Copies of this chain bind each other. A is one copy, B any other.
Amino acid sequence: MDTQDRWASEHEQTLRSFLIATHLLLDRLDRDLQRQAEIPLAYYQVLACLSEASQCTLRMSDLAAHLHGSRSRLSHAVARLEERGWVQRVACPTDKRGAYAVLTAQGRAAFQAAAPGLFESVRQHLFDQLSAEQAGHLRTISELLAAHLCRHEELDPAD
């Protein structure tokens, strides 16, 4: 087996483990959250983002950008969250195309009720499995990859 092949097979194995681990972990977190709080992880993230914004309010576009997701997806998500009374859409006075998403009191309550269970899952399935050093590595790696992918999306609007 020459050097090229060794490289490839090593990376292939890493990729395989990475795909399995991330799928299993994301599924588990999503499932736990779904069972305990009846919200998908993706919607929890919307609530989390809004809860940190000033006035618990964000323009739809900004919210989508913070979540690194598409406008379309956010639009659907907010529609669902609005049905539950957790978020409200408010028209933007200065730009009639625009809309604000506002976290309601109920939305904040739902978010706060869901958080402890999620953190417990994360602790159990992620951080309890890693040494402090490994958690540090994971953070570094995640930040590197996220930065690259964000950069790449800006530059490559192959859409």
Contacts of A11 in B (CB 8 A): 122-123, 127, 135
Q: Are B141 and A134 in contact (CB under 8 A)?
A: yes
**Chain A residues within 8 Å of chain B by Cβ, number:** 45
Q: Are A129 and B142 in contact (CB under 8 A)?
A: no
Binds B, one of A56-64, A79-87, A95-103, A143-151: A143-151
Closest to A31 in B: B158
Q: Are A152 and B134 in contact (CB under 8 A)?
A: no
How many copies the complex holds: the figure is 2
Contacts of A143 in B (CB 8 A): 17, 21
Interface string of A99-130 (1 = CB under 8 A from B): 00000000000000000000100110111011
Given A17-B139, A19-B45, A24-B149, 7 additional A-B pairs, CB 8 A: A14-B138, A17-B146, A21-B141, A23-B68, A125-B148, A134-B141, A134-B144
